[in-house]
Structure 1
Amino acid sequence: MLVDVRPKLERIACRGTDDGMKPQTDPRSPVKLTRKGAATRARLVTAAGKVFAELGFLQTRITDITKAADAASGTFYVYFDSKEDILRAVFDDVIADFLDMLREGRPVDADPIALIDHDNQRYLVAYRKHAGAMRVLEQVATFNDEFAALRRSVRDRFVVRAERSIEQWQRAGHCDPDFDPHIVAALLVAMVDNFTYTWLGLGESYNGDRVSEEMTSVWVKSLGLRRLDP
């Protein structure tokens, strides 16, 4: 089976030299692919996501990925340098989809409790969809600094959003103005994050019908929120 090696050669060419010169483009910058090449790359990424979720990162071989993608073994290296390289692509897709799912149907100008309830419900839906990928991220973050940083950045994104909301609610008089919004946001996000990983990532058994409700209750009581009058 013949494969188009031009994308791979272009990626190698843009890396610069070892003389200290800064390359003109980032080595991970996507190259322009043909429609067929883009479809092949997407198929490899989709397959990698499924295989990583099933086998874990360490146990996955590149041949497992190409087999799942119904692609020749050498095709992998046309688009990716390593398992880490394709894992980055997997998480590009996962994180984008996760955030899109959180934004879906978010109420505008709703009271704080309604917003918290929406966000908790959507977070659980998104995490359930991507539980396998999130489990892999937890695994790889324990021994790879780059993915540890990615793991922190995912969490930090939620902390920043929660902190911003809490500050707004403090200014509006909806909750206690005296606590530190950054620390409280980090504590509440850690509660949701770690609980969800234990439940959906590790398989701990809970009453799924009550989880979102109880999460929201913890947030509301911690912040001292009251539902606004209509």
Structure 2
Amino acid sequence: MLTFTPLASGSKGNANLLSWDGHHVLIDCGLRLKNIKDLLAQQGLSGHDLSAVIVTHEHSDHVGGIGPLARAFGLDVHLTAGTQKGADGLLDKVACQIISPHQPFTIGGLVFSPFPVPHDARECVGFTFHKEGQKNGPVMGYLTDCGHITPYITERLKPCSYLAVEANHCPDMLRDGPYPRQLKNRVGGPYGHLSNHQTAALLADLAEGLAEVRLTHLSENNNTPDAALQATRPSLRAQTGLAVAEQYAVAPALTMSW
């Protein structure tokens, strides 16, 4: 069984716990060491139980807490070469394992398959996960911090039965909100973040195979859980589970049997 638990999700810090067959890894960690230790403790774990940390990209809300965590517990950090360069000293004295955006790698019998994601970072990636040796088995996916959906992203996520995906902003709230014009253009641009409507369109393309979805990385200023759910729910089959990951509360886990 594979579980994906969003421990914290939003612009103030992201951390996701992936657990299977006695293994545990974090995907991103933009939280202070004390906070992530507390969140792990809520799951009955400590940093000593982690096998590694996986990084999507170098922005501080995803990578800011990885250095202290990895140094405290001697963890390997898996990230692209571009992300390592972009982290700019945040990962000093950390054992970095460089991954390719197109090359799968395996930890504890779980295959991590990265794919490139358009975002204003050096080499941002998303992931799909499946059990080693199960060519036609179930697949889980994670896509965050994405400016627009490419045909390749849709193709890579097509096999997924379980998906955690960004639904960052409501376009109307972003347009009418307090952000300066330059930041509005960045967030809503092709290398910014997915709107609720963009995520809804992606989910419509994937709907036939999806059993469970988590909406992640909602903006506190430019979105609400209700707006995200109302925009995306019609794209999914009635039996598909849907919930929102929040900044200050652990979200219900995605749980995939194999």
Q: TM-score range by the shorter chain?
A: under 0.3
TM-score (norm 2): 0.24
Higher-strand-fraction structure: 2
Higher-helix-fraction structure: 1
TM-score (norm 1): 0.26
Mark the structure with the bigger radius of gyration. Answer: 1
